[in-house]
Structure 1
Amino acid sequence: MSEDVYAARGYGAKGVGFGEKPGLVVVDFQTGFTDPAFPMGGAPLVDRALDNTVRLMRAAKAAGAPIIACVIAFDGPKGAPHWKVPPVLDLLAGTAGTALDPRIAAEGPDVVLTKTAPSIFFGTAAGAILTRERVDTVIVTGCITSGCVRASIIDAFSLGFRVQVPEDCVGDQDQAAHDQNIKDVGRRYADITTADAMIAKLEEWRTSNSR
């Protein structure tokens, strides 16, 4: 019933669409969130998202779309915002939890940025890099759906990019939080899609640009 209330008021009535040039952002697929040895690592939804993102990165690279990855890391305790999640504060620069997951690193993202806030765009060069590359459509992948991914989606939207979110390329600690946030950003800021659909779009874009 609540979804009908949103729909009745026009939420989600218009799609964002795929523009002239895509770029891929990969948010926080670092060992602190992907490796079960760490307190925040090993969530099944995150592992699923990482595997699908690897496939998407390969398609983006083959198409010539830029790929920007990021990790969250702090130079020291005073460099961190007021996070309410103690394990996040353990992500000090140079420690094991701040390394890109080896599966992501192996795909060779074009740029790897370090951030201290939730969004890949806040206090980083991500927006400027994508603008320089003439990207108008940002595909958002990574973790955590309800946290840094959501913040990145909102910032990409606020910067004027068309935002595409393949649902199976983002992951959360909790299924309900994942589902709720995917549904909500889909009402407001982004088109919700899948890895397979985005791979097909990248191939279509590659083909159209090779003529």
Structure 2
Amino acid sequence: MTGPHGTAFSGRVGWGSRPALVVIDLVRAYTDPEGPFALPDPGPAVAATADLVAAARSAGHSVLWTVVRYTRGLADGGLFVRKVPALAAFAEDADGQWGEIAAPLKPAGGEPVLVKQYASAFFGTSLASTLAAAGVDTVVLCGVSTSGCVRASATDALQHGFRPQVVRQACADRSAELHTSNLTDLDAKYADVVDLPEALGQLARPHH
């Protein structure tokens, strides 16, 4: 980053030798036009994520998924559901199937689906332990939303000692401005923001 801060920001964490793909909250609540968190144009992010999943699977890399789910009555939602009331759509007694992973995406047998109640994929889940046990050193992040769960997960990945790689074309948000500004800030401080071809090339390297 150039400017008044010189090279104070935007260093590179780079790619390690053992990546894993984490697909964050790409569920119908965001991709269905009637969903409570409907995005203006989720199609490109879903398509890019499908490409990443296929590449990771072909090379034998771990693929993990996250979804948000709350108990009946939101007893485990804490203050988050008070701040964002629409999260009630993910309660087990809610109408609709907004928490279902969006087609054509679908976890394969043996791919963990981590249930979370808060923004970060790491908070209150077994993600860090699962990745560490598999020898993972690089976390490739895609999904929604860029400013919310993707950002929180990327920040926590860095704080847990994993190299976060956020794939620009495989994330989406409720406006292009939010998407772009958050990617810019993530790239400056907490993660490497990479384009889809780079991520696909890295994931194509077989797992040894």
Question: Which letter maps to 2:133?
Answer: R
Corresponding residue number in structure 2 for 1:159: 160
Question: Which letter maps to 2:16?
Answer: G
Distance across 2 between alignment mates of 1:109 and 1:147: 27
**TM-score after normalising by structure 1:** 0.90
The 1:18–1:31 alpha-carbon spacing in structure 2 relative to 1, beyond 3 Å, is: same
RMSD of the TM alignment (CA)?
1.9
The 1:41–1:151 alpha-carbon spacing in structure 2 relative to 1, beyond 3 Å, is: same
3-state DSSP class of the match of 2:4?
A: helix
Aligned residues of 2:122 and 2:153 also touching (Cα < 8 A): yes
The 10-residue stretch of structure 1 (142-151 or 28-37) with the greater mean CA deviation from structure 2? 28-37
The 1:97–1:197 alpha-carbon spacing in structure 2 relative to 1, beyond 3 Å, is: same
Question: Which letter maps to 1:190?
Answer: A
Spell out, residue by residue over 1:81-105, the C-alpha distance to the aligned partner (whole angstroms, 9 max, x if none): 3232221122113651111112221
2:23 counterpart of 1:26: yes
Question: Which letter maps to 1:27?
Answer: I
Distance across 2 between alignment mates of 1:9 and 1:193: 19
Distance across 2 between alignment mates of 1:105 and 1:73: 17
Distance across 2 between alignment mates of 1:62 and 1:71: 24
Aligned residues of 2:53 and 2:63 also touching (Cα < 8 A): yes
Corresponding residue number in structure 1 for 2:141: 140
Corresponding residue number in structure 2 for 1:17: 14
The 1:74–1:29 alpha-carbon spacing in structure 2 relative to 1, beyond 3 Å, is: same
Share of identical aligned residues, percent?
A: 30
Distance across 2 between alignment mates of 1:128 and 1:81: 24
Spell out, residue by residue over 1:1-44, the C-alpha distance to the aligned partner (whole angstroms, 9 max, x if none): x96234x15111x2111101000101000111111121212431
Question: Which letter maps to 1:147?
Answer: G
**TM-score after normalising by structure 2:** 0.91
Aligned residues of 1:143 and 1:170 also touching (Cα < 8 A): yes
Structure (1/2) with the larger helix percentage: 1
2:105 counterpart of 1:104: yes
